[in-house]
Amino acid sequence: MAAHSRTKGASRVEHLQIPLPKQALALRGFVPAILLFALALFAAATIRAQSPSGVSELAPGSAQLINPDELLSLLQSTTGEKPLVLSVGPSLLYMQAHIPGAEYIGAGSAKPGLDKLRARVKSLRHDQLIILYCGCCPWSHCPNVRPAYNQLAAMGFTHVKVLYIADNFGTDWVDKGYPTIKGQ
Amino acid sequence: MRKIVLSIVVIAIAVAVYEGAQHHSHSKGAPPGAVDSPAATFAVQDLDGKPLSLAGYRGKVVLLNFWATWCTPCRGEIPQFIDYQSKYGPQGLQLIGISMDDDAKPVHDFYQQFKMNYPVAIGSASLAESYGGVLGLPVTFLIGRDGRIAAKYVGAAEIPILQQKIEALLQSK
């Protein structure tokens, strides 16, 4: 039912009025709350994506990760900035085989490892390219790379990548014939 | 005539090279830790300081598990291994745990917390290398009564398959 009418002295338009069911009218009161809730969800997702402590940042395929073949190319390249490669896994893994040039820091899941990581990078420029890796176990179970990454992010390092090792260092690096060295 | 002689010489050289290569590959043997190769012997101390060696379990089926307290899939396997030791121990199964932890303290704590019923020792790079390298956890070897590696599982073992293999090995004398 259209109800356009003009009153004397003032223009007034009455919009189309469609009677709403009682339930819909009752829900109208919740609209602001729903909008606020959606806004809060969006904000939380945005903050999480930007937060250095967000675990989701290290999800497979995310920008913070580097694949083994990409790292190999980077290490073998004769041009460009050489990354600082840091092993944040268990020492017995590093002693058996590690990426040439990688420095041993210690397990990122333990305080001594994080302390050593802080000390190692303390004097570096915050835009230094740093590659962290572990490879102790399947990616989703690795206890070391996330705390180490979060530590560096919290310190303000902006060019930190984590080597994406899907299964373990043996399968995803050594067995592919990529270079390794032994020892401390 | 010269062509015939040349052909014979070329064939002789080719045969010699082939034989040499065959001999080299046989004498080189299987890489350490390979299935069907002899399991590397070791002698270490368990968490209580007692001697622990593979030779001490000669004639038994040995499940040798490389693990660590921080390794989630490893932790998931331990209760099953404890059950295996109880269930199959009387039939000749012996479990041995080699922890790849950097520090012994959490291993002691874990051992007591989970009431582990088989010996555990702290591993080393050389012990891991004697089994072909442990470059990711868990890694489990099944060693037959003859001392040869019967199976190797990288990553968490599929329990039904592992159990079937254990039972088959226990039946062999």
**Given a cut of 50, is residue A56 above it in pLDDT?**
no
When scoring A87, A88, A93, A175 by the number of chain B Cβ atoms within 10 A, the one with the most, hence best to mutate, is A93
User: Dihedrals φ, ψ of B49, to 5°?
Assistant: 85, 5
Q: Which of B131, B160, B150, B162 is nearest to B66 (CA)?
A: B131
Beta bridge partners of A133: A87
pLDDT digits (tens, 9 = 90+) for A115-154: 999 999 999 999 999 999 999 999 999 999 999 999 999 9
pLDDT at B14: 56
pLDDT digits (tens, 9 = 90+) for B85-119: 999 999 999 999 999 999 999 999 999 999 999 99
Return the sign of the alpha-carbon dihedral for residues A79, A155, A52, A140: positive
> Which pLDDT does position A34 carry in this prediction?
59
pLDDT at residue B22, rounded to an integer = 43
Tell me the chain B residues in contact with residue A174 when contact means C-beta distances shorter than 8 Å: 133, 135
How many beta-carbon pairs under 8 angstroms link A with B? Answer: 71
ipTM of predicted complex: 0.80
Q: What is the pLDDT of residue A41?
A: 53
Each residue's pLDDT tens digit, B7-31: 666 665 555 544 444 444 444 578 9
Lowest mean pLDDT among A18-27, A75-84, A144-153, A166-175: A18-27
Is the Cβ–Cβ distance between B114 and B124 less than 8 Å?
no
The partner residue sitting opposite B155, judged by closest CB among A143, A167, A182, is: A167
* DSSP bridge partners of B151: B142
**Tokens coding B135:** 């470059």
Domain range B43-171, CATH class: alpha beta
B154 contacts on A by Cβ (under 8 Å): 168, 170-171
Q: What is the CATH number of domain A55-174?
A: 3.40.250.10
Name every chain A residue with its beta carbon within 8 A of the beta carbon of B100. 90, 92-93
Asked if B120 and B135 touch (Cβ cutoff 8 Å), the reply is no
Q: Nearest CB to B73: which of A93, A135, A141?
A: A141
Determine if residue B59 is left, alpha or beta; phi over 0 gives left, psi from -120 to 50 gives alpha, anything else beta.
Answer: left
- List residues of chain A with CB under 8 Å from any CB of chain B: 90-93, 95-97, 106-107, 109, 135-138, 141, 143, 167-171, 174, 182
In angstroms, the CA A20 to CA A9 distance is: 31
| Tokens standing for residue A67 | 């694949």
Chain B partners of A181 at a C-beta cutoff of 8 Å? none
Give percent of chain A with pLDDT exceeding 70.
Answer: 69
User: What would the 3-class secondary structure string for A84-97 be?
Assistant: EEEECCCHHHHHHC
pLDDT digits (tens, 9 = 90+) for A14-36: 444 555 566 555 556 666 665 66
Give residue limits of the domains in chain A: 55-174
* Minimal Cβ distance to A168: which of B72, B125, B135: B135
B113-163 confidence digits (pLDDT tens): 999 999 999 999 999 999 999 999 999 999 999 999 999 999 999 999 999
Residues of chain A with Cβ-Cβ distance to B124 below 8 Å are: 92
| For chain B, domain boundaries | 1-30, 43-171
